[in-house]
Structure formats: structure tokens, C-alpha cells
Amino acid sequence: MDVLSDCSVGPARRGQSAAVRGCGVGSRKSPFSRRRASASPVAALTGGRNGHGRPADGLLALDLRQPEELGGDGAGANPEQLFAIGYAACFGTTLALVGQHGGLTADDAKIDASVSLVPNDGGGYALSVELHVSLPSVPTDRAAELVRTAHRICPYSNATRGNIDVALSVDGTWI
């Protein structure tokens, strides 16, 4: 179902423009509330890149710091590291599931994820990602196919597709 199907145009109400009423903008209701999420962790952060973050469940707490390359002291985690860990974890799980579906064991995959800040044409920065995948239990002739398939269905890959450059390598070979 289209998450914007209940949008309407009409007279503006306080805090809303007429064009976006009912679409989740200016209201407490999420525009995605009609989708059924399988997981929706919540995290809070204060202080931006030099702040402190923690998920609502309290199982993790992190001090964030600017990396030295951006003029910071590098004394804490940075958002790119967290994104790299999340992407690698999600991609690894996807590889295992796709492998299982294809009769392959891929749950021993090793993924080295590199997330970089790169200058963009607008004078700001964009992200780029490299996923270096090693699949010790998958025959070489099937490994690239498995990685390509995982990349098509991994939630992180779907979220980045079209707006973040993602390069893939399997056992040291770019695919």
C-alpha cells in the first residue's frame, strides 16, 4: 500500500501546509505507520559527531568523535564506522539466507566494510561504501553470483541504491 495514499489537499491547519496534511508531516503519526516493520529500534543522540548516543534498550552507549581526518581527536566511534558495522552485519545475514536458499553454506562469510566520506559536486560530502566479501565455504564459481544476489535484496543495499556508490569484491576480485 502506498504510504502517501491518505494525503489530502485542503485548507491549512496550524503547523501544516495544505499540500502535506495527512502525510505524516506536521503530525505525530509516522508516514510509514501503515507499513508493518519487522524491527524498529530507537536510538537517541546528543551532540552530533562529538556527542553521545545510545539505543532505547540501553544495551549500548557510545561516545562519538570526529575522525582525525576531519579535524577531530578520533577518540570515539564515528557514524561511518557504525554504518559500516550495520551494513556488514545485514549483508552477512542476507548472504547466509540467500546461500541457504541456494543450497550453499555462507554463514561463515567475512565482510570488511569500508564507508568513506567523499566530496560531492555541491561542495559537501557523500558516502561511498566498499564491501570486501570472503566466502570460504562457497565454491569460487558461485561466490560472485551469491554476492550479487545478496546485494539485490539486502535492506542496506536497497536503502543505498541510487544515492550511495557501493563497490563489491569477492575474495579480492571486484565484481
Q: If you write DSSP's letter for every residue of 22-75 in order, what string do you get?
A: TTTTTSSS-TTTTS--S----EEEESGGGSEEEETT-S--EEB---GGGTS---
Q: Which of 16-25, 51-60, 78-87, 99-108 shows the lowest per-residue confidence on average (mean pLDDT)?
A: 16-25
**With contact defined as beta carbons under 8 Å apart, do 93 and 107 qualify?**
no
Looking at per-residue pLDDT, the higher value among 117 and 13 belongs to 117
Give the range among 1-5, 160-164, 166-170 with minimum mean pLDDT: 1-5
CA contacts within 13 A on the Cβ side of 105: 3
* More confident call, 165 vs 18: 165
Most confident of 9-18, 55-64, 147-156: 147-156
Cell numbers of 133, please?
Answer: 566479501
Mean pLDDT computed over 48-53: 94
CA distance 22 to 6: 6
pLDDT of 25 > 50? The answer is no
Instruction: Give the three cell numbers for residue 155.
Output: 535492506
Residues 100-128 have pLDDT tens digits of: 999 999 999 999 999 999 999 999 999 99
pTM surpassing 0.85? no
Q: Where are the domains of the chain?
A: 1-40, 43-77, 79-174
CA distance linking residue 170 with residue 175, whole number of Å: 7
Q: Averaged over 10-36, what is the pLDDT? A: 46
Task: Give the helix, strand, coil percentages of the chain, each rounded to 5.
Answer: 30, 25, 50
Nearby residues of 78 by Cβ (< 8 Å), 6 or more positions away: 49, 64, 65, 66, 67, 72
Indicate the pLDDT class of residue 84, thresholds 50, 70 and 90. Answer: very high
Top pLDDT among 12 and 136 is at 136
> Cell 559537501, residue?
124
User: What is the architecture, at CATH level 2, of domain 79-174?
Assistant: 2-Layer Sandwich (3.30)
Look at residue 95 and tell me whether its pLDDT is greater than 80. Answer: yes
